[in-house]
Chain A
């Protein structure tokens, strides 16, 4: 699986209007009523594929840990009131339509999936995309990780991790064509514990950022992206510099 394009947005909390403006500069699709999660997702995906050719049989895999939280809180507020009336766009906003908006913006009629795996959402989505690509279910894959900042939620109600106050929309585009690729994903492996992974690799493994590992291929031939959850379940993604 060869990575051809990437896009990484990692910003401290920004207003929804900023992403609306950014998106308007990229495309003309109407996302006037869209929530921040959907805007971030579409903006990131389109930025990754801007002015690039891709197959109409592209698979879109959107990973998220928390989903559209702002819409969820808004809907919870509405249902907690006596009449419980929900505004249609708020309801649609919690129903995971971000990958549809991306597909619609790209006019892509292959598959689109929205996926979560506690603390390994991006890695598991990448594994699914890898599986589809290797078995020729799709011709290209667009795999992204999107989460909006949770800074609007009182600290005591937020998950306890340091990254929750960032807006994130990070994407890769890949296929089976090695020509001009940035990197090759050689293997995606899962282990029931970090110890088992270390035994397998005969090395000490430390958790990493996928994007930093991708960058590190500028200086080395191979790099390992390691992600484990709090119970130790571990995924290791082997990235190598492509040789033509």
Chain B
């Protein structure tokens, strides 16, 4: 076992709730069963999608504005000087990467036959951009494992710090609106028609996508006593199907159990489980069954929450985004509750947390669960003393 720890010393998020920690956490805390529907109706006036509140001149400007903001915020929060920034190993996780830039250029080219048909072929340029932005001496690595992309990036960054392979890391999760993803999920008939995000609820009828960008800064030493650190993680492949998890929940259960083993923890030590909770029919069954198996094995039942009703499903960036959201809220003394839940599906043996969890100045251990297309399943545990 490694003697080093990987601490998250900086976290930033730009999402539909805003871009400052104060804006984001205030809104999260204020949302409840009574005002959730109105919040969604107002937010979804244009389309059922958790969108950034700002408008941008182009997709390119939007992409780089988001990256610049979250990276600078995370670096500033950690208080890194230029020399320390050069030590940052860079990890990026996303599903769509920069496809919105290609949509823009391809459509323009199709109409005019002038200019570039593609802004870029391949997404390595995002890594090069971050290397330049941070003056990092390291080469950036991009993870494309669908919805587990950025949590896998975080797990590797953490383990490499624990093992002394790197001293600092910047993990970026980015998922911005693009027609390809929106229309693609629509053609797979996975999007909610009711426009109410209700994971694990009997009225749940699908996914609502969202856009957000976040950065997590990791170091081998904490900057404050509130900094969370990596306890362990597990990634496995559920080979049941390309687009659905094994409904028995067995592979997801094995992943969560594997993360507990990697962290040398019993489930009794977990204060909260952040479920993947996409609201899809398959996830409502498979993840609920997995949680039931976990609760039965350990004969305990920690609270479960879901964050997608606040920020939407941000796919490959959901790992980084939801962890950043959780850490920002924890810093404000609470952990977010689950919106949109009234009565569970027949598989849900639990009631997701209905009120925020007050956690000011107390030790915390949280298990984060993520499940992706292609059977890529990851659980990761973070704690603070």
User: Would you call B32 an interface residue if the criterion is a C-beta within 8 Å of the partner chain's C-beta atoms?
Assistant: no
Name the interface residues of B108-153: CB closer than 8 Å to any CB of A: 110, 116-118, 121-125, 127-128, 131, 137-146, 152
User: Is A154 part of the contact surface with B, judged by Cβ < 8 Å?
Assistant: yes
B-contacting 9-mer, from A112-120, A172-180, A217-225: A112-120
A residues near B159, Cβ cutoff 8 Å: 131, 135
Q: Which residues of B contact A92 (CB under 8 A)?
A: 184, 188, 242-243, 373
Q: Which residues of B contact A190 (CB under 8 A)?
A: 138-139
Q: Kindly state the separation between the CA atoms of A92 and B145 in the bound complex, as whole angstroms.
A: 12
Among residues of A, the one whose C-beta sits closest to the C-beta of B179 is: A79
Interface 9-mer from A17-25, A42-50, A63-71: A63-71
* 8 Å CB contact of A96 from B118, B145, B183: B145
Give Cα A114 to B97, complex, Å.
13
**A117 to B239, Cβ gap below 8 A?**
no
Pair A117/B188 contact, Cβ less than 8 Å? no
**Are the C-beta atoms of A99 and B374 separated by less than 8 Å?**
yes
Query: How far is B127's CA from A137's CA once the two chains are assembled, in angstroms?
Result: 26
Across the interface, A95 reaches (CB within 8 A) one of B125, B140, B238, B373, namely: B373
A159: interface (CB < 8 Å): yes
**Interface residue? B30 (CB, 8 A):** no
The size of the chain A interface, using a CB distance under 8 A, is 60
> Closest CB of chain A to B128's CB: distance in Å?
5
Query: In the bound complex, how far is the Cα of B106 from the Cα of A157, in angstroms?
Result: 11
B374 contacts which chain A residues (CB < 8 A)? 95-97, 99-100, 112
User: Taking the complex as formed, is A187 at the interface, i.e. its CB lies under 8 A from any CB of chain B?
Assistant: no
Say if the beta carbon of A5 comes within 8 Å of chain B.
no
A88 CB, nearest partner CB in chain B, Å: 5
Q: Determine whether the beta carbon of A229 is less than 8 Å from that of B139.
A: yes
- The 0/1 profile, CB within 8 Å of B marked 1, for residues 142-168 of chain A is 000000001001100111000000000
Shortest CB-to-CB span from B180 to chain A, Å, is 5
Chain B residue nearest in CB terms to A100: B374
Tell me whether B163 and A80 are in contact (CB under 8 A): no
Residue on B with the closest CB to A137?
B159
Q: A100 to B180, Cβ gap below 8 A? A: no
The answer to whether B184 touches A109, judged by C-beta atoms less than 8 angstroms apart, is no
* Cβ 8 A contact of A112, one of B140, B141, B163, B376: B376
Taking CB atoms, residues of chain B closer than 8 Å to A84 are 179, 183
Q: Which residues of A contact B (CB under 8 A)?
A: 60, 64-67, 69, 72, 75-80, 84-88, 91-92, 94-97, 99-101, 103-104, 107-121, 124, 128, 131, 135, 150, 153-154, 157-159, 190, 192, 229, 231, 233, 235
A-B interface, 10 closest residue pairs, ranked by CB to CB distance from nearest: A118-B124, A91-B184, A100-B374, A192-B137, A66-B122, A96-B144, A76-B106, A116-B142, A114-B144, A80-B107
**14 A-B pairs in the complex with CB atoms less than 8 angstroms apart:** A75-B180, A77-B106, A79-B107, A86-B187, A88-B184, A91-B187, A92-B373, A99-B374, A101-B242, A109-B236, A115-B141, A116-B144, A118-B122, A233-B137
| Additional 15 contacts, C-beta under 8 A, given A115-B142, A117-B141 | A69-B122, A72-B102, A79-B180, A80-B106, A84-B183, A95-B374, A100-B239, A103-B237, A109-B237, A113-B143, A115-B144, A118-B139, A124-B141, A158-B121, A192-B138
